[in-house]
Amino acid sequence: MLNILVAGLSFFVSLFLYPLFIKLLNQRQHQQIVSEFSLDSFKAKAKTPSLGGVLFVLVPVLIFMMVFPKALLKAEVLLVLLVYLAYGLIGFADDYKIILEKNNKGISARLKFFLQLVLAAVFYFFFRQYLSSSITIYALDWSFDLGILYFIFVLFVFTGASNAVNLTDGMDGLAGGTSLIALVPFSVFAYLQGNLEILAFVLALMGSLLAYLWFNKHPAKIFMGDTGSLALGAVLAALALVLKQEFSFIFIAGVFIFETLCVMIQIGSVKLFKRRVFKYTPIHYSFTLSGWKESSVVRFFWALGFVFMLIGLFMGVL
């Protein structure tokens, strides 16, 4: 019952706050700064306020803490919350620098990546005794121990997931919708494992994210910014580690991995062969250059994310 309560509270509080937050951001001209290299069809989004991730980071965390204060005594819960807030803070620093300086540079990519690595290392150091270094493939009833290599794995998962969601955040409703879909199996895993506190937080996050999507659907009234995308990627990674669904996460995060691989292939091809493999990356932009409407591209990626989610769910519950 309390799980439903936190989900409902998170949804309705966020639904109430977003119009006020959007109005405040517009009044202060805290709006999206579009790169000169952006597609012409997306330059019209320049006046849409960013920082939408602030609410769906803070609201579910605060509501969860109010309803489940004793849950903070559990290491795995504390890890998930701190990861979510900390990576959101990196994103906020980037977003706010962009707003203040009125350009699309933000903090440097190297500094951002360094901070992500440092946070991952710090979290691993303080919570390593609560994290098993074994990886389980439930569908095959097989597990293997990474040993000391698990530390490298944790660094890779946190930085990779946070940046992958960030790359996916380029169209109205795209990153928010695919992230919401990716959260579904973690609610199932938490329920099946009897981890009701993690379940409650996931539901609270889903409630707030659903409210955000109402205002982020095309034409978007607000964007999540790096505050939201980095936080979402990191919290998905944290949930995978805490619930021991590292292998399933490969499928659950299928859309984000697909987007990232396409970017890597494009960069590699340009550097090595001086030619592009795709019309534009991240790959979702290639669809619009091929004549797709933005809303059609988003629905396609939602459907793709849903298929990946079902595969990941299947792999995790067998």
Give the model confidence (pLDDT) of 17-63 as tens digits. 999 999 999 988 776 666 554 566 666 676 789 899 999 999 999 99
Give the model confidence (pLDDT) of 259-304 as tens digits. 999 999 999 999 998 899 888 989 999 999 899 999 999 999 999 9
In a domain, 280, yes or no: yes
Q: Report residue 168 CA to chain centroid gap.
A: 9
Model-level pTM?
A: 0.95
pLDDT in the model for residue 172 = 94
In a domain, 239, yes or no: yes
Among 165, 164, 192, smallest CA distance to 177 is for 165
Token readout for 219 is 């034409």
In a domain, 206, yes or no: no
The pLDDT-based confidence of 71 (bands split at 50, 70, 90) is very high
Amino acid sitting at position 170: G
Task: Name 47's Cβ contacts closer than 8 Å, sequence gap at least 6.
Answer: 31, 32
Position of tokens 């517009």? 26
Least confident of 82-86, 102-106, 200-204, 233-237: 102-106
Residues 114, 231, 254: CA angle, nearest 5 degrees: 95
Q: Is 89 helix (H, G, I), strand (E, B) or coil?
A: helix
pLDDT in the model for residue 33 = 64
Task: Name 12's Cβ contacts closer than 8 Å, sequence gap at least 6.
Answer: 211
Q: What is the DSSP code string of 181-203?
A: HHHHHHHHHHHHTT-HHHHHHHH
pLDDT in the model for residue 82 = 98
pLDDT in the model for residue 221 = 95
- In which domain, by residue range, is 243 found? 72-194+212-317
Residue 318 has pLDDT above 80, yes or no: no
Q: How many domains does the chain have?
A: 1
Among 19, 39, 15, smallest CA distance to 286 is for 39
pLDDT in the model for residue 3 = 85
pLDDT in the model for residue 28 = 84
Task: Name 185's Cβ contacts closer than 8 Å, sequence gap at least 6.
Answer: 245, 248, 252, 309, 312, 313, 316
Give the model confidence (pLDDT) of 120-174 as tens digits. 999 999 999 999 999 999 988 899 999 999 999 999 999 999 999 999 998 999 9
Give the model confidence (pLDDT) of 168-192 as tens digits. 998 999 999 999 999 999 999 999 9
In a domain, 82, yes or no: yes
In a domain, 161, yes or no: yes
pLDDT in the model for residue 40 = 60
pLDDT in the model for residue 263 = 95
Please answer whether residues 318 and 139 qualify as being in contact, where contact means their C-beta atoms are separated by less than 8 angstroms. Answer: yes
pLDDT in the model for residue 47 = 79
Please answer whether residues 66 and 93 qualify as being in contact, where contact means their C-beta atoms are separated by less than 8 angstroms. Answer: no
